[in-house]
Chains A and B, each alone.
Chain A
């Protein structure tokens, strides 16, 4: 068994695949956070049109499979419509990576928006009332008083490790991350299937477990004492 393990590690670059997973996670997380915050603000804004648009975004995106969204980006926008992100002459795997990140960000923005909205709901009414009483308008109330507390209250649902696991979906468009490598490894070495699954699953446990613990402790440490 040890021999199989060393053979596999010598033949396949497992670390590179997990590095790709990490890159996908970080890039998509930043995108989702930015987009999700905008959608969340739209959902609580005083203007009905923005509220409706925010709700429509969340409803549509949340009910569509991530696989379909990623396909839409990669096969629809990139392959069929020939849209490129960034440099026009960048190779196909870079383009697939970028479109994959965009798909992940679009999908997870809906969940970030929901987490933030539930975070906004945990901020006591008195906070917003006090902010208004000292003369802050909607923008200032939201950005100076409510959102900072909402972010702290939303850390636990935001820190959900789902994004790391969902990056595996971009294997369907050929981005060489962990599950893509696993598929290739099993197809070439079916005799070592248990070891292969063991390595890859352990990799994910190693990635997600500390992240989960970090976010739990962060949410506890940063929780607004009331």
Chain B
């Protein structure tokens, strides 16, 4: 229990402890009853028979469907996040540029691609490559997925970079200018490295978003995990067990990534709270950058 919320109730006395125990027992019985009803409904429709689940013991299921699907998902996510980080940093720098046309152009680009759904960008990129550039074959769906994810996520990362630079103390920029650096050099050598470090946890959490959104490639026939799972399921007639397995794979990977983001965040805060500046708390720089603040929820796409 964290300190912020424990204040909602007093340390329970003997009476309250008994009451909590009763509520806990009733509550867990209620939750268990719900789970039981779900499981029983699934079992009644024959979803827990050995026939539905035995394909997952068969190595062929993994080697020809699930693992290639997972690989396709990871490949799309990998290329997208690399491209998105590169484009995002450039766009973020553009938004902070001294030149008004550059600033306005990058701002319009970011705002536009942030308000258009990823799926639409994927569809547009897919059909543009297909009809406009006459690309076909295996590379086409991958290109569509990566293009759609890159457009959207580079805008998100550009915003993260801008927020990171905005949250740095003004003295950083002034010091850079004072020692004779040009504004661009100040941004590149002084502000950007600090902003990227500050935003590292959010960038890692953005990876979770990219992984989840790669599942949208389903609609443009990209053989990612959900589509290859569906192919498997239509072959074996075990849609629900397959979806449960796929969900488990996604949850494990994304959970580990979120833990990595938390670890990076703790490391960074520990560094900030080092002996040299014990009073500086990163959460105080800007409320929006605090854990659980608005920027810590970019997991919502």
Contact = CB atoms under 8 A, between A and B. Distances in A.
Interface stretch (B21-29, B167-175, B181-189, B192-200): B21-29
Contact of A67 (B27, B116, B218, B239): B218
Contacts of A81: 41-42, 45, 47, 240
B10 A132 contact: yes
Contacts of A64: 212, 247, 250-251, 254
B138 interface: no
Contact of A118 (B208, B255, B297): B297
A197 to B, nearest CB: 4
Q: Interface size class for chain A?
A: 35 or more
Nearest to B119: A168
User: Taking chain B's interface residues, is the majority helix, strand, or loop, or is none over half, making it mixed?
Assistant: helix
Interface in B66-113: 112
Interface range on chain B (Cβ under 8 Å from partner): 35 or more
Contacts, number: 183
Interface in B106-165: 112, 115-120, 123-124, 127-128, 130-132
B73 to A, nearest CB: 9
A49 interface: yes
B203 interface: no
A108 B301 CA distance: 10
Interface in B251-301: 251, 253-255, 258, 287, 292-294, 296-297, 299-301
Interface of B: 1-2, 4-5, 7-10, 12, 16, 20, 23-24, 27-28, 31, 41-42, 45, 47, 112, 115-120, 123-124, 127-128, 130-132, 208, 211-216, 218-219, 226, 230, 239-240, 243, 246-247, 250-251, 253-255, 258, 287, 292-294, 296-297, 299-301
